[in-house]
Chains A and B, each alone.
Chain A
Amino acid sequence: MVSGLINANPVVYEKKERRLRNVATLPDEYVVEPIDQQEIFDHIRDIKDPEHPYSLEELKVITEDAIEVDDERSYVRVTFTPTVEHCSMATVIGLCLRVKLMRSLPSRYKMDIRVAPGTHATEAAVNKQLNDKERVAAALENPNLLDMVDECLAPSYG
């Protein structure tokens, strides 16, 4: 595909410490714990960057604040920030996020994956591509692409 790395020397940030949820000593058996921001973040934080051995969290491609979730309305929106503006990996990252969430969330959810406004040269095109069901399905028919996605997702099934 592309020779040479697109962002050869990315800034690596520290990982956020895993927050332990303060569970009551005797949790009520029947209380519902809704899906929240942190849970979504836990699903996607360990996805590997397609071209570096770092997680998306370490590269600050995704942050917890960039996730909006509404459990009652079954809606989630993830906004991610590519490391460089012309990053051609943005679509792959977006695809990884979508696939991981599709596999991790109940089927009632509608998800919206987008590039943070103003962080990518072809923002509109990328967003359109990522949220087009047909195109996503088609992309996953491509064995090379699927292998790549699977490789990126592997660390997130800890």
Chain B
Amino acid sequence: MAETSQLIQYIESFVDSSRSPSQQAASLDAIASLLKNNQLTVETLVREMEGYLTTADNIIRARGILLLGEVLMHLASKPLDDAAIHSLIQFFTDRLADWRALRGALVGCSALLRRKSSGGIVSETDAKAVAESYLQNLQVQSLGKYDRKLCFELLQCLLERYPKAVASLGDNLIYGICEAVDGEKDPHCLMLIFHIIEILPQLFPDPLGPFTSFAHDLFENLSYYFPIHFTHPKGEDLNIKRDDLARALMLAFSSTPLFEPFAIPLLLEKLSSSLPSAKVDSLRYLSDCTVKYGADRMAKHGEALWSSLKDAVFTSLDSVLSFTPETLEGLCLPENEIAAEALSLLQKLIVQNTNLFLDLIVVDEDINMIFNMISSYKSYHGIPAQSKQRLHAVVCILSTSVKASTASCNRVFECFFSRLMDILGLCVRNSSGNLSPDDSIMIPERYNHGALYLSIELLSACRDLIASSETIIAASARTEETWSYLLQSFLPSLTKAFCSASICTSEDSHDADMYFGVKGLLILATFPEGYLLISKPVFEKILTTFVSIVTVDYSNTLLWKLALKALVQIGSFIEKCHESEKEPSYLGLVVEKIVSLSSLGDFSIPFPLRLEALSEIGTSGKSYMLKVVEGLEEAIYANLSEVYVHGSSNSAEIVTQVLKCYSDKVIPWIHCANGFEEVPLQFAIHIWNQIENSMVFNATQTNKIEVLDAMMKAMKLAVASCSQENQNIIAQKSYHILSSSTSFPLKELFQQESFQIVQVDNSSSRDEWILSLFAAVVIAVHPETYVPNIKPLLYLFMTTLLKGNVAAAQALGSVVNKLGLKSAGVQTDCTLEEVMDIILNLSLWIFQSNSSSDIEAKMASAHDISLINLCSSIGSCTSLQIHAIVGLAWIGKGLLMRGHEKVKDITMIFLQCLQPNGRAEILHQEEGISENNNELDLHHSVMKRAADAFQILMGDSEVCLNRGFHAVIRPLYKQRFFSTMMPILQSLIMKSEPLSRSLLLRASAHIIIDTPLIVVLSDAKKIIPMVLDGLSALSNDILDKDVIYGLLLVLSGILMDKNGQDAVSDSAHTITNRLIELIQYPHMMLVRETAIQCLVAVSGLSHARIYPMRTQVLRAIAKALDDPKRAVRQEAVRCRQAWASIASRSLHI
């Protein structure tokens, strides 16, 4: 048989230990697939292998048995007849005694025992035989790590799949397991062991069975591992973590109540250890054991548990109460892990055995001491720090007890609440039950803070208990609850106490008073609806108290913030829990009142505070936000029309603030919430309608700019948050108004063939507003939104941008950025290419027709430009040129961000401006310096602006062309621009003359500053000379200080980086010289400071490079020690030390 010879080859190659592991695995797979495809029976295989299985050679026999075992692993679901399984398992069972060939036997047993039931499984008796052989023959702890793991896996398999068979082994089994696990240290094996011990008790449910007598021994084995101390180095055993082990051990601990007599004392002992992780673990284990051991067993340890728990909470809590508005809701979850675990354990214990633990709590001396303590201190701040901590701990314990169950809540209220009321000096509601008679009696100067604190937290816990219980108990049942009765009876005086605490305005009044007062009222107001603890009038009284604080008491900042925050909390509580009965009161009393603030004429409360109150209240719920938005918009419209018609500066100021609030608070909120799509749309449309209808327009010059800016911002944000369809509506509307109600000759522009600059300023200021607003709309729309009649708009924008309207330039940039995006089949009037041709061919941008540089020649040939020389033809040419450059820069930015190639043309224009078209001019002007000096200056400012255009190109803008305004942004566009521009600039700088050289350096500085540092780093060697030249070229002009600072930051970034240091090492000398110059830079402290920090970094470069410069540096630093600014002096001391320690001793002082 050909097959037989091949089979033998496979067997040979597996058994031969000189073959590579991959060959062995391949032959194993081959044999397994033969068996699976029924080309080979198990019987034949065993026959063929007989020699290998029985040979006296230990190695070959081991490999042979392993082969058989591994093959069986592959056949878990292949049907085998019972006889074959029986004989195989018998074979492997026998082989367990053969310690030299053990691995194969273990693998084989596991493989057979794990067989799927569909293919025939090992019988119970055979399984029992395996277990017996295992217990008799295996010395697990003397085996290697991998074999031990196999042993434990086999054991686990036996316990899980043949519980009855192995359980019949009784004592033997448990004893064997004890022996096998003793002293194990490998984490993988430990995971198995913990699991084995976890399932073992289920085999012996009988309380008098064999397990009971061995429980102590077994637990002893386990207890060595607690608490888990896991020191395996990282990288090894990545799949097991300390937490996995701790969890597995916890399950083993809690697997049977029989462990209780040993486990609880051990855990309590470890709880008192000083190791935090041991404490946390003990508490977790105790929690788990509490649940699984049951009430009776835990009751024995009640007192010990309570005292350990109390200690843990008392010692671990360190947080002190802070009276900030942020902590108003959701106290007292301790951040400390130990305290948190301890409290959760306490809650479990109380749920399990309420009476026992509450008895302990009630009579506890420490708690009673705290109660005595608080009555002796009136003010919270008078309490010593340690007692504060203990008070906090008591609060945590009591509120946990309240939260545990209704019964415990009753008990705590019964024992402590009336005591607190006594301390506070409050009395029970009188029989008639109404408020008025005792209105006058006893309002103490100040309530006891400790008692206030405790009672507030108890109330809050009680509220949480109710809120968390799913079913609302019937009203009749409720009144029978003790806590409810007690609360009801003290409620009026308590409410009054909180009220008077919060509005207490005496001289020595305290933040604690207000905090407790407001918090108490807040908690009362947010009791769930089913529990009408407080009647409607009381609820409304609370609301009016808060509202009156917000509207009147604005001078007290903390109180004002607290009250506002409380109102917001109540609002969101009502919104969240659908409190239908409370909502009308809230709407009527709070929202209406606050909204009315926006339109109120009198200035009793500062306007910014009103706006803050409005926007905060709005955020508490959708329905309130709608009201708030209404109020805000009304205020905006009313004041805007004042501005339009009368030019009132007062209204202008107000409307600016309201608009700012609208764009900063309302629109972002709307953006996050769903279902408010209409609001920004309505807002935008209304603004447009209003400006359309206001034919009288008297906005005064002074306030105009601010109002317009705020309007444009709000308009942009509103439009940006609209959907595309709504944007279409707004765009249509605004275009209609732009074309119909202004004097802009849109139609004429459209028909015009050649472009003329409209010199006569015939547009009114109203037209300008409309145009600016329209520009805002264009800036903010989606790329898919349809903007009508692009071409005339282009002309319009370009004319206006030449007048210095930056918004128009930004709108143009947005248009070219978003136009004709391929993704959406958008209809457009013209393609991007056409638009670019229009823009470039207009040749506003060619500034010197008579000079003939190379670049310009190229430009001219590329675009066939008919030249209109603006420069020479118009008198005020410089400002016009500057406006043109700014406009072009924004257009270029739009192109650059979408990665369009035309941006090259635009940058070429800029470069051309920086280039010596100046040369001709300078020569020309040197002849008549005296007359033309002025013009040279002007021209220089244009060139400077051209250099600054690169800042616009590269910088991130907040006002347009960003993600918020749906700009098309190509990934890594900055990087790409950097790598194309830098070589060009570099070569230009090489051959340029002084004037344009400094401008070129300026341009490259802008690019370098705005490129991500990591990109600059990769090119550091080439960039460094430009950075250094830039630093020296720009350091003369005070206006360039920000550029200098930016460059220095890049330099320091390079110096801090490992690769950067290598790259700059050669130029250490130049760098140091440059930095020494900048130490004296007079105009900016940050520059001096950063220069010195850079010098510190330089001192880390290679010793040979920097050693020659040490005297020079130290001399310069000595001067910096006398710098006028403190921060610089401080850095100088550090720098001096860094350099002095590389110098010789004599220089050290």
Chain A residues in the interface with B (C-beta under 8 A): 21, 27, 29-33, 35, 39, 42-43, 99, 102-108, 140, 143, 146, 157
Contact = CB atoms under 8 A, between A and B. Distances in A.
A157 B1125 contact: no
Given A39-B1129, A157-B1133, A105 B1121 contact: yes
A108 B1136 contact: no
B1084 interface: yes
Nearest to B1086: A29
B1085 interface: yes
Contacts of A140: 1148-1149
Contacts of B757: none
B1083 interface: yes
B1121 A33 contact: no
Given A107-B1118, A157-B1134, A157-B1137, A33 B1149 contact: no
Contacts of A105: 1121
B1136 A103 contact: yes
- In this complex, which of B1084, B1121, B1134 has the most chain A Cβ atoms within 10 angstroms of its Cβ? B1121
12 contacts: A21-B1126, A30-B1124, A39-B1126, A42-B1130, A99-B1149, A103-B1133, A103-B1137, A104-B1133, A105-B1121, A146-B1145, A157-B1134, A157-B1137
Contacts of B1121: 104-107
Q: Is the interface of B mostly helix, strand, loop or mixed?
A: helix
Contacts of B1140: 103
B1095 to A, nearest CB: 15
B1122 A33 contact: no
A35 B1122 CA distance: 9
B1137 A33 contact: no
Given A157-B1134, A157-B1137, A32 B1124 contact: yes
B1133 A29 contact: no
B1118 A106 contact: yes
A18 B1149 CA distance: 28
Given A30-B1124, A39-B1129, A108-B1122, 12 more contacts: A21-B1126, A29-B1083, A33-B1125, A33-B1126, A35-B1126, A39-B1126, A43-B1133, A99-B1149, A103-B1133, A103-B1136, A106-B1121, A143-B1145
Contact of B1129 (A31, A35, A107, A146): A35
B1143 to A, nearest CB: 12
Contacts, number: 42
Q: Contact residue range for chain B?
A: 10 to 19
Contacts of A39: 1126, 1129
Contact of B1149 (A21, A29, A103, A106): A103
A88 to B, nearest CB: 24
A99 to B, nearest CB: 7
Nearest to A105: B1121
A14 B1122 CA distance: 32
Nearest to A154: B1137
Nearest to A43: B1133
A35 B1083 CA distance: 20
Contacts of A104: 1121, 1133, 1136
Contact of B1124 (A33, A102, A107, A157): A33
A14 to B, nearest CB: 13
Interface in B1111-1149: 1118, 1121-1122, 1124-1126, 1129-1130, 1133-1134, 1136-1137, 1140, 1145, 1148-1149
B1084 to A, nearest CB: 6
A143 B1148 CA distance: 12
A29 B1130 CA distance: 17
A39 B1127 CA distance: 10
Nearest to B1145: A146
Contacts of A108: 1122
Contacts of B1124: 30-33
A50 B1134 CA distance: 22
- In this complex, which of A32, A33, A42, A107 has the most chain B Cβ atoms within 10 angstroms of its Cβ? A33
- In this complex, which of B1083, B1118, B1124 has the most chain A Cβ atoms within 10 angstroms of its Cβ? B1124
